[in-house]
Amino acid sequence: MKVLVTGATGFVGSYLVDRVLSGKHHVVTATRNPHCSSNTENYAIGSIGPASRWQEALRDCDAVVHLAARVHVMNDKMVDSFASYREINVQGTLNLARQAAINGIRRFIYLSSIKVNGDGHSSGSNVHLPGGIEHPYSEADAPAPTDPYGQSKWEAEEGLRCIANSTSLECVIIRPPLIYGPGVRANFLRLMQWVEKGVPLPFDAVDNRRSLVYVGNLTNAIEICLGHPDAARQTFIVSDGNAISTAELIRKLARYLRRPARLLPIPASLLNGCLALLGKRDEANRLLGSLVVDDSHIRNMLGWCPPYSIDQGLMETVNAFRKP
């Protein structure tokens, strides 16, 4: 199979190309930089938008894995961030999908986000199922994005469904929660840095649950969706399968970093109030709130099971972090 991968030099893309598809498929990559160091057949597309030309990159391809996107940006300084998200994530995606359909591409894998469902439950929401488990997001839920990034991903999904309904293009949408793995950055990287330095962290009393997905599990699901006949026109949520608390995550990271887990039992309500006063409500929700997903749809329909446990994923992530 000849597969075009966009965003191939990114966190997920590099793992997918180098560790999953390489040697199994003829991989073509699309990047901004014409001097990309990728060993694959590469096409420089530049910034992705409604006017991007994909004909050369799509030639003779059987499938597209579209990972490139304008990602969620903290403290976004753009004057009209919504327009910027739409230009790349909506118009750019649909432009690629239309050209893929015209070029006879069979399958189009789109990496969306669990933010289409929402941002989970805040630490003070008290939305629980029996047994104290927060209501898990599923593909059947009504979309409820809360920011421009999530909204743009939802609009792209809707546009892809319209294109699929009027062409032979088989669109598959995948919504992951927080993705981690070797090379992870942003908040997950900072958390590892804090644990390694022995910084006391005030999360021992936080009783939340958050679903995660190891990049190896996500890319395995993408590979399955490329070839499985039942994946066509489906939306799938993927995860490692077991949600954990912030405190439990810190303990696991500390174990693999061979550092003590310095956790302080500060009430979640106090932490939430302090972070809110500092204007950090988003950070409070990610650290104190819950976001649990139900990935039974992909398991039941495709027989998919994540090949890595969360402990294996965290160990690989820590090992890569510790390498000089």
pLDDT digits (tens, 9 = 90+) for 260-314: 999 999 998 899 888 888 888 788 888 899 999 999 999 999 999 999 999 999 9
What is the fold, at CATH topology level, of the domain defined by 2-183+212-242+292-308?
Rossmann fold (3.40.50)
**pTM of the shown model:** 0.93
Q: Which of 75-89, 109-123, 262-276 has the lowest mean pLDDT?
A: 75-89
Three-state secondary-structure class, residue 230 = helix
| Nearest alpha carbon to residue 221 among 117, 110, 145 | 110
Report the DSSP beta bridge partners of residue 291.
Answer: 210
Beta strands 212-214 and 178-180: pairing type?
parallel
Three-state secondary-structure class, residue 224 = helix
Cβ atoms within 10 A of the Cβ of 54, count? 24
Query: Which pLDDT belongs to residue 272?
Result: 86
Provide mean pLDDT across the span 164-169. Answer: 97
Say whether pLDDT at 122 is over 90.
no
Three-state secondary-structure class, residue 137 = strand
Q: Burial level of 250, CB count in 10 A (0-12/13-18/19+)?
A: buried
* H-helix or E-strand spanning residue 109: strand 107-111
Rg (CA), the chain: 20
Q: How far apart are CA 189 and CA 176, in angstroms?
A: 18
Report the DSSP beta bridge partners of residue 6.
Answer: 30, 66
Say whether pLDDT at 81 is over 50.
yes
Provide the pLDDT confidence category of residue 79 given band limits of 50, 70 and 90: very low
Phi, psi of 175 (to 5 degrees): -110, 105
Provide the pLDDT confidence category of residue 33 given band limits of 50, 70 and 90: confident
Q: How far apart are CA 17 and CA 14, in angstroms?
A: 5
Q: Any idea which residues carry the catalytic annotation?
A: 149
Which residues, other chains included, contact 114 with Cβ-Cβ below 8 Å and sequence gap of 6+?
Answer: 137, 175, 176, 177, 211, 237, 291, 293
Domain residue spans of the chain: 2-183+212-242+292-308
Query: Which pLDDT belongs to residue 128?
Result: 39
Please report, to the nearest 10 degrees, the dihedral formed by the alpha carbons of residues 205, 208, 213, 214 taken in order: 10
Region at 78 (left for phi over 0; alpha for psi -120 to 50; beta for the rest): beta
Q: How far apart are CA 78 and CA 24, in angstroms?
A: 41
* Residue type at position 324: P
Q: Which residues of 276-285 are buried (b: 16+ CB within 10 A; e: fewer)?
A: eeeeeebebb
Query: Which pLDDT belongs to residue 113?
Result: 98
Q: Burial level of 60, CB count in 10 A (0-12/13-18/19+)?
A: exposed
* 23 vs 78, more confident: 23
pLDDT digits (tens, 9 = 90+) for 197-237: 999 999 999 999 999 999 999 999 999 999 999 999 999 99
Q: How far apart are CA 256 and CA 163, in angstroms?
A: 46
For 251, the token pair is: 């303990």
- The mean pLDDT value of the chain amounts to 91
Q: How far apart are CA 269 and CA 284, in angstroms?
A: 10
Cβ atoms within 10 A of the Cβ of 264, count? 11
Provide the pLDDT confidence category of residue 135 given band limits of 50, 70 and 90: confident
Provide the pLDDT confidence category of residue 129 given band limits of 50, 70 and 90: very low
For 114, the token pair is: 């669990």
Say whether pLDDT at 75 is over 60.
no
Query: Which pLDDT belongs to residue 130?
Result: 36
